[in-house]
Structure 1
Amino acid sequence: MIFWMHNMLVCIAIIGNILLLLILMKDIVNFINENKVGVPMGGDKQGRYVKPDLSLLGTEHVKRYRESGGEVGHIWNGVTALLLTTIGRKSGALRIQPMIYGRDGSDFIVIASKGGSPNHPAWYLNLTSNPSAEIQVKNKIMKVSARVAKGLERERLWDLMTSLWPNYDQYQERTDREIPVVVLTPATF
């Protein structure tokens, strides 16, 4: 009788561990699907354009990023994204834009590509009018000062950013304007 009860308890423990493993696997699969882990980034190794997943964009991206402290939206199509808040150059209103970013030391690097449009994005024009801005990276909000990278620095940072999002090279081919590389330097207190 004791032997039988012991075997029964061992079986229950094994079944419990299997159920726990299945629950953990489900959580891992959900994380992978939500964060697009393993999905090709913007472009492939041959430099061909790869259409990104556009299911999280614009105001919905901002809303979910803010609500979750960046748990949703910080990883977007396999790259990191921040929220950039600028002051509208005409309206004076706050404008929030999700942006792919890279890091260069303590600086955050963003690209004013607008998908290769002939015109600069509004957020970039706002920064040229007023370089003071704010960014949110995950749940951390910080003041930054913006400047446009030039010359060799621009080339180096462009290479950094196209290594993260190769589609930037295709965006550059779509337009005659030189796509600006913007350096966001956190304020020091």
Structure 2
Amino acid sequence: MSDWNRPIIEEFRANGGKVGGPFEGADLLLLTGTGVKSGRPHVTPLGYLERDGVLFVFASNAGAPDDPAWYRNVRADPRVTVEIGAETFDGVALPVDGDERDRIYSLQGERVPAYAEYQRQTDRVIPVVALHRASAAGRAWALGDELARIHDDLRGRLADLRAEILAVPDGRAARAPDLGRRLREHCVSVCDVLGEHHDGEEARAFPRLAARFPGLAPVLARLRREHVQVTETRRRLLELVEDPGDHDPARVRAELEGMIGRLEAHFAYEEEQLGGVLNAVGPLWRSGPPELEARDGAAG
């Protein structure tokens, strides 16, 4: 944080979001994004306008000719933390364009005339940024929630596979002559859904996110590396269930638990890093990426 912002931030946090001096009585929040160059958290106090439960902030830079650093940061990586009053929440910062941008900025200029003056001082169109909560309860086109539903369906399929394959070490295989068939059915179901889901992400969702938010590159790179590992896991799962009776029961159990643990960790990381972003950008994509649509019951 800059020397100018430091005392404002400290006073804000010490007094439940209230500050004195030139900002006394102002609607003020703290926005934490990730520095484009440093990769470290970058905290900025900003004036805001609230409309219909959405917070809007303004990249005025006091009328300077260049966009402020915090705006460049959220353009690269929209994942932010917002502090308002005594509340802190994870959010997604997305610019507002066109008539909606003009309407919101005009409202702020009427409430706080300094903002109207900032726009008069510069040739650039001062950006307006909406801060969406990462949780999308009740919101249409909640693609992050749809991603979680697909993962939950896969978790259920993996649980069924675990229950069936553990029947072998438990000694029940002799009483279940169709066990091998059921295991293959469960495994093919899991592997097919995983393959379609990840192929769609690689072909469509990840390139779109990378193009719009270059700051997400490390997250997408990790997910792509994990997709390679998941492909190997799918191959090994199919191999494991071809004839479970031919394998040592303890090794089958250990391998299966390890595979399922890696898959669940992958699902959890993707939901944590991208769920909120997908929830926020969903309405802007108009038609949902095919990889996040319900398919073969994947999201049912």
Fold similarity call, TM over 0.5: yes
Determine the C-alpha separation between the residues in 1 that align with 2:5 and 2:48: 16
SS of structure 1 residue aligned to 2:27: strand
After superposition, the C-alpha distances for 1:19-60 in whole angstroms (9 at most, x for unaligned) are xxxxxxxxxxxxxxxxxxxxxxxxxxxxxxxxxxxxxx5110
Report which of the two has the higher share of strand.
1
Determine the C-alpha separation between the residues in 2 that align with 1:167 and 1:107: 22
SS of structure 2 residue aligned to 1:92: coil
Cα deviation, residue 69, structure 1: 2.1
User: Which residue, 98, 103, 127 being the options, matches 1:151?
Assistant: 98
- Whether 2:118 is the aligned partner of 1:179: answer no
Determine the C-alpha separation between the residues in 2 that align with 1:71 and 1:143: 20
- Whether 2:75 is the aligned partner of 1:137: answer no
User: Which residue, 118, 130, 154 being the options, matches 2:65?
Assistant: 118
After superposition, the C-alpha distances for 1:158-178 in whole angstroms (9 at most, x for unaligned) are 122112211111111111111
User: Which residue, 15, 21, 39 being the options, matches 1:68?
Assistant: 15
Is the 1:102–1:164 contact (alpha carbons within 8 Å) kept by the matching residues of 2? no
- Whether 2:34 is the aligned partner of 1:87: answer yes
Q: Could you say which residue in structure 1 is the equivalent of 2:49?
A: 102
Larger Rg: 2
2:119 is aligned with what amino acid? Q
Determine the C-alpha separation between the residues in 2 that align with 1:183 and 1:166: 20
Determine the C-alpha separation between the residues in 2 that align with 1:124 and 1:81: 16
Determine the C-alpha separation between the residues in 2 that align with 1:72 and 1:175: 28
Determine the C-alpha separation between the residues in 2 that align with 1:69 and 1:171: 28
The gaps in structure 2 that reach 5 residues or longer are: 137-300
Task: Using the aligned pairs only, state the percent identity.
Answer: 35
The gaps in structure 1 that reach 5 residues or longer are: 1-56
Q: TM-score, normalised by structure 1?
A: 0.66
After superposition, the C-alpha distances for 1:133-178 in whole angstroms (9 at most, x for unaligned) are 0110011001111111111111111122112211111111111111
Determine the C-alpha separation between the residues in 2 that align with 1:160 and 1:185: 19
Determine the C-alpha separation between the residues in 1 that align with 2:119 and 2:106: 13
SS of structure 2 residue aligned to 1:142: strand
SS of structure 1 residue aligned to 2:43: strand
Is the 2:18–2:24 contact (alpha carbons within 8 Å) kept by the matching residues of 1? no
Determine the C-alpha separation between the residues in 2 that align with 1:156 and 1:131: 22
- Whether 2:102 is the aligned partner of 1:161: answer no
The alignment's C-alpha RMSD in Å is 1.6
Cα deviation, residue 79, structure 1: 2.1
Displaced runs of 4 or more, over 4 A: none
Determine the C-alpha separation between the residues in 1 that align with 2:106 and 2:119: 13
